[in-house]
Structure 1
Amino acid sequence: MKAVAARDGKAAVIEVDAPELKEGHVLIRTEFSGISPGTEMGIIKNSAGKSVMIGYSAVGRIEQLGEGVTEYEIGERVACYGSPFVQHAEILAVPTNLIASVSEHVSPQEAAFTGLGAIAIHALRIADLRFGESVLVVGLGILGNLVAQIASAAAYRTVGLDLSSERVELLKQQGLSQVFERTEDLEEQLDVLTDGHGFDSIILCAGGSGEELINSSFEWLRDRGSVVIVGNLTMEFSRAAMFKKEARVLISRAGGAGRYDNQYERENRDYPVGYVRWTEGRNVGEYVRLLSEKRISVQPLITDQFELDQAHHAYEKYESDSKILASLIKY
């Protein structure tokens, strides 16, 4: 079968063996997979002298059920998340812990970004917000946009910040009114936006050098608030600024509980809901529910769609065009 790999600093379409179907897993014929530009471009840049399969978010139809799988049917459309089970590949073998049913009225193109949706949801869970609290989302690429949309759907007082006027305008078009391009404008409105307290949590979806941004976040934060790092930021910051607010600096890792746990993923052993309420798989289901209920929308973010044989062009475009938000591979 065909799949996309990072090879010697480039993306390439290669031939690989189809995956083996194991107990508790399902075999999925991929319809669409969503590109995660931050993660995948990083893997490509570091692929000199090796070949690494890429991708972790897709949608498709079940072709075969593994032993013990009774809750799904052949032909059913499902969203799925998590490498090495989910990749940019024609056929996927995925544990049922990492899939969720997708109703026919839900766009499969939007469902293909379920991995990023789960990551966005998990970031908000790490922030641990309560009804009526405020959150600032910094960096409004596809991940930050999703975090902001989901936060707003959850009725948090949601504010966005990005240096790109296009990204700011897009989020405004999606129904969020308090979105800023300039930090000066945000700071001018800070007391009004937060009742004079500062934000309860600030979620950083930007990348690169983090020192200036994290230190500014401490200034925008309420006393004992939290800063959640989602993007690939460096972690230098001022201890004095952190101490002044007794701020918490947290890392949000992937899509939720169960990630990188072989027993949960490979062996398909779910955690009891009474002990672990939200797993990566349950977050996948929540993302699909938000799409189904039209509480969020990904369609306005999708700028490009590439046939599998032309997938390498998607990554070439990310290198040259900073305005791309979301790209799909079609199978």
Structure 2
Amino acid sequence: MKTVVARDGIIQTMDYPKPILKPNFVLIETMYSAISPGTEMSMQRRTGMEPIQLGYSAAGIVREIGPDVTHIQVGQKVACYGAPFVKHAGWLAVPKHLVAEVPEHVDIREAAFAGLGAIAIHALRQANIQFGERAVVIGLGILGQIIAQIGHAASYQMMACDLLSERCEKLKDAGIPDVFTSLEELEAAIPEEGVDTVLLCAGGDSSGLIDQALTWLRDRGRIVIVGDIKMQFERELMFAKEAEIIISRAGGPGRYDHNYEISGFDYPPGYVRWTEGRNVGEYVRLLADRRVSVGPVISSVLPVERAYEAYQLLEKMPDKTIGVLLDYGVSKGEKKW
């Protein structure tokens, strides 16, 4: 099966064996997988001669289910999340807790962003925003776009900023008016009392951004780090406001837990209400209820064989490229066994 890898800093498509179904797993024929630029391009830059498989967010059709899988049926369309199970590959064997059914009226291409959706939802949960509070999103790539839309759907007062005006316009088109193309414009619009939360979705050279975000916070506000930025900040700025700086780890509780992901043991909702799997399902619900819309920020859909070109678009044309999907040729649901 076609699988996207990074080797020696280069994106390639290689043939790998089809995965074997395990207990508590679901075997999925991939329709689309979504590229997560920050994570994957960072991995790409660090690779050596040993190929590293990329990707963690996809959607497709269930072809087989393992014993003890009861909430998913063969033939259903599903969204799925979580490396190393989910990747840019034609077939995926995914733990049952990381799979959510996609209703027929939901665009399967939007559902393929379920991994990013779960990460966005968990970041907002980590922010612990209350009704009526104000939050700022810095960085409007695909993850920042989804975070801002979901926060807006939850009736938080959302403000956002990106240096690329095209990305700002996309978010304005989604119904969020307070979007700015410079940190200076954003700062001028922040009310005197400050904001409750800043979610940092930026990457690359973001030195000084945490310190700047600390100046925007109200007393005892919080910063949630979602992007890949250096954790450097002035202690005095944090101390003066008794601010919190929080890391958002992937899609929620359960991530990297062998018992949850592989052995199939769920956390009781009374103790852990929102696991990574339930966050995936919640993203799909938001799509189904038309509370968020990812379609307008899907910039390119390319066949998996052209994966190299897809990553080149993200690197060379960031002003015109936000959401990128890889297509596996089963868009109409036909079997390609």
TM-score, structure 1 length as denominator?
0.97
The 8 Å contact of residues 210 and 235 in structure 1, kept in 2 or not, is answered as no
Q: What is the CA RMSD across the aligned residues, in angstroms?
A: 1.0
Unaligned runs of 5+ in 1: none
| C-alpha distance in structure 2 between counterparts of 1:73 and 1:35, whole Å | 27
**1:38 maps to which residue?**
38
The 8 Å contact of residues 210 and 236 in structure 1, kept in 2 or not, is answered as no
Pairing of 1:116-131 with structure 2 (within 5 A): 116-131=116-131
Deviations 1:14-63 (A, max 9, x none): 11111111111110000000010111111111112210111100000100
**What is the aligned residue count?**
327
Task: State the shift of 1:6 in Å.
Answer: 0.9
**2:229 maps to which residue?**
233
SS of the residue corresponding to residue 19 of structure 1 reads: coil
| C-alpha distance in structure 2 between counterparts of 1:85 and 1:173, whole Å | 34
Report percent identity of matched pairs: 51
Tell me whether 1:300 sits opposite 2:276 in the alignment. Answer: no
**1:84 maps to which residue?**
84
Identify which range, 216-225 or 179-188, moves more after superposition: 179-188
**2:199 maps to which residue?**
203
SS of the residue corresponding to residue 255 of structure 1 reads: coil
Task: State the shift of 1:185 in Å.
Answer: 2.0
**1:160 maps to which residue?**
160
Task: State the shift of 1:183 in Å.
Answer: 2.1
Deviations 1:192-213 (A, max 9, x none): xxxx321111000001344421
Tell me whether 1:330 sits opposite 2:327 in the alignment. Answer: yes
**1:214 maps to which residue?**
210
**2:146 maps to which residue?**
146
**1:183 maps to which residue?**
183
**2:266 maps to which residue?**
270
| C-alpha distance in structure 2 between counterparts of 1:308 and 1:190, whole Å | 43
| C-alpha distance in structure 2 between counterparts of 1:70 and 1:266, whole Å | 16
Tell me whether 1:260 sits opposite 2:256 in the alignment. Answer: yes
| C-alpha distance in structure 1 between counterparts of 2:292 and 2:38, whole Å | 22
Deviations 1:150-170 (A, max 9, x none): 000000111111111111111
User: Which amino acid is the alignment partner of residue 278 of structure 1?
Assistant: W
**1:23 maps to which residue?**
23
| C-alpha distance in structure 1 between counterparts of 2:186 and 2:315, whole Å | 30
Task: State the shift of 1:72 in Å.
Answer: 1.5
The 8 Å contact of residues 210 and 237 in structure 1, kept in 2 or not, is answered as no
| C-alpha distance in structure 1 between counterparts of 2:104 and 2:238, whole Å | 48
Tell me whether 1:318 sits opposite 2:314 in the alignment. Answer: yes
**2:75 maps to which residue?**
75
| C-alpha distance in structure 1 between counterparts of 2:88 and 2:205, whole Å | 30
TM-score, structure 2 length as denominator?
0.95
Identify which range, 317-326 or 109-118, moves more after superposition: 317-326
| C-alpha distance in structure 2 between counterparts of 1:185 and 1:12, whole Å | 41
Deviations 1:209-267 (A, max 9, x none): 44421111111100000000000011111111111111100100100000011111111
| C-alpha distance in structure 1 between counterparts of 2:204 and 2:306, whole Å | 29
Tell me whether 1:54 sits opposite 2:51 in the alignment. Answer: no
Deviations 1:65-86 (A, max 9, x none): 1112122211000000001110
| C-alpha distance in structure 1 between counterparts of 2:186 and 2:39, whole Å | 29
| C-alpha distance in structure 1 between counterparts of 2:62 and 2:167, whole Å | 36
Deviations 1:271-290 (A, max 9, x none): 11111000000000010000
SS of the residue corresponding to residue 126 of structure 1 reads: helix
The 8 Å contact of residues 4 and 14 in structure 1, kept in 2 or not, is answered as yes
SS of the residue corresponding to residue 253 of structure 2 reads: coil
